[in-house]
């Protein structure tokens, strides 16, 4: 399984730190020449590999860590996303619901990534919290996952565990998934809830 993070700002770097902590290789890409962020990637760790967007989207699992408005541009990097899983880390806060045809933001994004499975997740915490070691006083920091594809949720749940998080499955994008999606100027009820699971 290969991994990429598209977007290397606050949240892309927080995700990269999670991969680096566990020594798991992940590509990172933005709109820019990878040389321009190579030193920032190296500072996080040797498993963080700067690539062009065209190269990075070859990964099996692609974290979408760009501003919501930039997602359609990322989708254009491939004509078909068949067989890939997109992890939608965006928050569509402030985007008028009518611009999304009244749909949850993740469904809007899923339409752009034709053929891919989409899991909404890793988006409910601020970047500074997500960047920290998810091992907290013997417990594991929770990430929420929502998807209409159970197999994809399972695969991202397994990855979340490998990264040291505790995944909690919320169900479909239009059901439990709404708890972690911004709508207009309001936040889903689970956004910013920093929870830790103890055995």
For residues 153 and 186, give the distance between their C-alpha atoms in angstroms, rounded to a whole number. Answer: 25
**Sequence-separated (6 or more) residues with CB below 8 Å from residue 113:** 75, 81, 84, 86
Scan residues 125-184 and list those touching ligand NAP (CB under 6 A).
126-127
User: Does 94 help bind ligand NAP (rule: CB under 6 A)?
Assistant: no
Comparison of 68 and 81: residue with beta carbon closer to ligand NAP: 68
Q: Are strands 26-29 and 48-50 parallel, antiparallel or unpaired?
A: parallel
Cβ 199 to ligand NAP, closest distance in Å? 27
The answer to whether 182 and 91 have CB atoms below 8 angstroms apart is yes
Q: Which two tokens stand for residue 145?
A: 């996952």
Q: Which stretch binds ligand NAP (CB under 6 A): 9-17, 42-50, 138-146, 153-161?
A: 9-17
Q: Using CB under 6 A, which of 9, 46, 102, 115 touches ligand NAP? A: 9
Q: List residues near ligand NAP by CB under 6 A.
A: 6-12, 30-32, 53, 65-68, 70, 73-74, 89-91, 123, 126-127
């Amino acid at each position: 399984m290969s991994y990429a993070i598209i977007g290397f700002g606050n949240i892309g770097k927080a995700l990269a730190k999670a991969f680096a902590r566990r020594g798991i290789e992940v590509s990172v890409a933005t709109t820019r020449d990878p040389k321009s962020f190579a030193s920032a990637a190296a500072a996080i760790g040797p498993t963080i590999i700067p690539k062009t967007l065209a190269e990075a989207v070859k990964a099996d699992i692609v974290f979408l860590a760009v501003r919501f408005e930039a997602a359609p541009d990322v989708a254009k990097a491939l004509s078909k996303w068949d067989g890939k899983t997109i992890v939608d880390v965006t928050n569509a806060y402030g985007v008028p619901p009518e611009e999304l045809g009244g749909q949850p933001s993740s469904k809007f994004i899923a339409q752009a990534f034709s053929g891919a499975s989409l899991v909404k997740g890793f988006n409910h915490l601020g970047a500074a919290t997500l960047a920290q070691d998810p091992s907290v006083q013997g417990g594991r920091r929770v990430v929420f996952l929502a998807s209409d594809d159970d197999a994809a949720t399972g695969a991202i749940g397994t990855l979340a565990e490998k990264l040291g998080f505790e995944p909690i499955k919320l169900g479909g994008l239009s059901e439990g998934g709404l708890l972690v999606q911004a709508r207009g100027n309001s936040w889903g009820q689970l956004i910013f809830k920093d929870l830790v699971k103890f055995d």
